[in-house]
Amino acid sequence: MNDCLFCKIAAGEIPSTKVYEDEYVYAFNDIDPKAPTHILFIPKQHIQSAAHIDGDNSFIVSKIFEAISKVAKDLGLDDGFRVVSNVGESAGQTVPHLHFHVLSGRDMTWPPG
Ligand code: 5GP
Ligand code: ZN
């Protein structure tokens, strides 16, 4: 049995506000947004984190970035946006299913905290 929260969201077993979907990718609004626009892009296939990308699954990452580019255009994020993927607990990863945060709509600081 798969107890992964984001696998369940991608499968529609847990509700979410869908922003984009294709064969490989699901995107939805973050439940606790850190910016006016805060979307999570995930692979439908379970991959634990960016530390678990390999030659067999890396094509899905390109699909995710194609989706990010398309959604950013569709939503008119022309002033810019930030893409973040936390890897491991010390970097702030709380859900162990690969996800890319897309944040936009406010000024961003650098370096991130
Ligand atoms: P992380 O901390 O792993 O980088 O990011 C996990 C993100 O998932 C957080 O920004 C958190 O707000 C979001 N999140 C956690 N549980 C849910 C949920 O059930 N639904 C949605 N839409 N977002 C969630
Ligand atoms: Zn999963």
Centre of ligand 1 to C-alpha 9, Å, is 11
- How far is ligand 2, taken at its centre, from the CA of residue 10, in Å? 8
Average pLDDT for the chain: 97
Residue 112 has pLDDT above 70, yes or no: yes
84, 103 contact by CB (below 8 A): yes
> What is the pLDDT, as a whole number, of residue 2?
84
| Other Cβ atoms closer than 10 A to 60 | 19
What is the C-alpha separation between 105 and 61, in angstroms, rounded?
24
- Summarised one tens digit per residue, pLDDT across range 36-85 is 999 999 999 999 999 999 999 999 999 999 999 999 999 999 999 999 99
Residue 57 near ligand 1, beta carbon < 6 Å: no
Query: What is the share, in percent, of the chain residues with pLDDT greater than 90?
Result: 96
Q: Using an 8 Å Cβ cutoff, are 103 and 38 in contact? A: yes
Name the band, by pLDDT with cuts 50, 70 and 90, for residue 113: confident
pLDDT of residue 1: 52
The most distant pair of C-alpha atoms in the chain lies apart, rounded to whole Å, by: 43
CA atoms within 13 A on the CB side of 10: 23
Residue 57 CB contacts under 8 Å (≥ 6 apart), including other chains: 43, 45, 47
